[in-house]
Structure 1
Amino acid sequence: MDVYENVAAQALESLVGTIRLDKKEYAVSLIWSSVEAIELRPREQARQAAQRVGSDLFALRAEADRKRFEQYALGDYALGHKSGMPALASCVADVLSDSLYGVWPLGIGVWWLVGIRSDGMIVLDRASCDEDEIRKMFEQGLLDESWSQVVCPTAWQIPGSLSAEQDAPLLGPPRVKLRVVNIDIARFVLWGACGGILLILGLFIRSWWPEPEPIVLPAKPVPPPPAPWFRKPPIEASLRYCTDVLQTYSLEAASIAGWFPVTGRCDGNQFSYQLKRRGGLDHWLSPLAVQLMGSPQVRLWGAKNQAELQWQASELPSFQADHPGNPNLSVVQARLKAEFDELGFNVQFEFKDGFWPSLKLTTTIKQSPVLLLPLFTRLSATVINEVTYNVEDDYWILSAEIYGASARMRKE
């Protein structure tokens, strides 16, 4: 099968050039070719091929031992490709030991088709928002070649295939990245020459221009930074609220078929539940999420088989600007350590110095963290960083920040 003629024949309207996985953007829908055994260097072969088809970017891919280049890929700015962007197909090929032919639904409404032969050569790399188009190309490839591993969406019901929803593509390090085909040398030289002339002219003028008399301005007083607990809810309100919503909404998060809540988090401004795939599909999430209490936002995490539901927290009472910090954090730490020891709970402290010093407290308990509220009632300027609830193992983590008095007040 001439892969590239087949790709060129498809409608360009549905083509997708980039995919974001785990906060990193990858280039897809690249045109891959083999480096020929001729005198022309691989870099020049790639550049000449890019000029023939009007591509803006290229990448070189080496063999596993990295002694010589075996393939080059062509990219295009029109598809969202950028210099320095890693090639997703190469990340998959680098960790394979046999051939792979697969389609994965990555994100909502995007399907990625990749074909990698047993010798490690990438023969197909295409992402599209047209499922029918991708499926036709996929089925044609099944007829043209024999593959060791075939992956596709379960709904396609291809005999002998693995489920794309259960078998996410494994990624190696992003070592193959796009680069620009041509650099405008003439413009670069012209800019350099202009800069040199301006530098020489500036040095000449400075050599005879009289030095101005220095102007000494009176120092302006620097205003102190605002108190970090200003407009944040006190721990008495936020800890009780976060514990309540994480307990209540764990049942809501468990209501989406094929997805299971793993970890809940709340910081007083918003709360969320991380979900793990257990047979569910990405496109089930949004339609079912809007039916849940509070209509949470859905965030997908690509190949990690995870997602997240996010709710906005209710408005809580907050500290005012004139609320004082704790006068002596060392005394606070000693008292809290003794009280946690008496309760039989482990606790860690981390002191942070600065204009507004603070004491970070972290503890893990099996009981509801509301149990700890009496320990904080005598403290001022204390807020939560985050309350975490692990659904699978049924334990809580509390991270709180206890702020001290400012450096100016300590001097006074």
Structure 2
Amino acid sequence: MLVLFCLLCLIIALAFIFFIKGENFAQKILTPIGLFILFHSFIFFVMPMLQELYGISRFPSYLVSNTDSYSMFLSVGSAFLYLIICTITVFILGKSGLDYSVLSSASLVSNDNTKLVKVVCIVFIAVGSFVMFGVVAQYVNQFAYFMYNRINLLSGYGYFIKMLVFSLPLSVLLVCEFVRQNKKNSLLLLIITFSLVFIISLLLGSRAQALFMLPYVLITYIFISKTKINYRSLGKSLLALILIFGFASSLAKVRDIIKQDDAVLSKSAIAEEIELGEVVTKELQASFGHAELLAFVLDNSDRYEFALGRTYVAGFVSFVPRVIWPGKPLGGGPMLANIVAPGSYKLGSKEGNSSLTTGVVIESYLNFGFVGVFVFAIIHGFLIYKVTCFGHRLTKTTDIALFLLTTNFLSMTIVNAEFLGAFSAFMFVAVIIYFFNNVRIRG
């Protein structure tokens, strides 16, 4: 029954894409609201089906024996309600599609600000990469210990990790230069940047972040190239993402073996070793098993009290050092970790701390219950509408970089990530890019 319910939700969600303005289905998907529908549906409708079919779970004793539980249906239903409200909000406000001729024309405009933004991105990426490689190198002979305790060991390096996010706007600029201006050096720099960020992200234990440049590269290429956006071009892009994700999953499996050999399992207080089902499905549920997490939260309401906005306040005040404000609120990740495994995150603990990604549906529920899910769906839809409006006013390549950065945050990142980490990283990069994009350069 759960599979059939998820399938019904998926069909209805995909049907909404047909109402987005665009020449064909592929064009409709490559819009802020289209990408949101696709990514949200994958996490909350496709993943529960895969987990049910393969018998894979974060909590084997929980999901495997309770696959048709009321909480799982309520979890998927809440996510479905969020998607419907968010999408209808965008449709009511009136802007859902994009004018691809605007994107294509803007990709031809490069000036001194574009060069400055590119240099700024390269500098931040270089500094962040150098520092993070140095941190990991200290534990080259204790990699298992590093993976188990990386949250504590990386404490204080948050902004250096955020510097890697500058690879996103940089990738947009480099693709524009290579495709529209035929600069071969741009392609070489793009490959180097992706390889560098990919390796560092895997070393830091982030499988999802390891691939976060790929959608930018593929979507930017489709937007600005003269190739017509159709099923064929979209299909090739999806195939490339699947193949590379499979490769990343294999590397993650090797990493797990290394940890097992040292008799240390990452997040051992939360997850058990699972050997059922396909390797890729197992890796996917580790990053995108949010429906199951929400079901667990609904089933264990006695373990927490609603945060009443505190995890969102944490995102806005993340720049304030805890030394200055000892009582600064924590994000949704530590709260969720302590619900799943009480005591797994303790502020000030020297080792063993663990966190979980919430995503917008879980975090809105943790703060205000089902009322929060309803209200934040409307807010989310309004913000997606505003970024779509911005997509109609692009005039240069740096505008495209800002547009895609914001689209990624609203349509994909926030759907899967904790608000604190996602928002602070987005604002850190977006504010700097916006400043250098508009600073006046005297010739």
Calculate the TM-score normalised by the size of structure 2: 0.21
Question: Quick check: which one's strand share is greater?
Answer: 1
Question: Quick check: which one's helix share is greater?
Answer: 2
**Structure with more contact order per residue of length (Cα contacts < 8 Å, sep ≥ 6):** 2
Calculate the TM-score normalised by the size of structure 1: 0.22
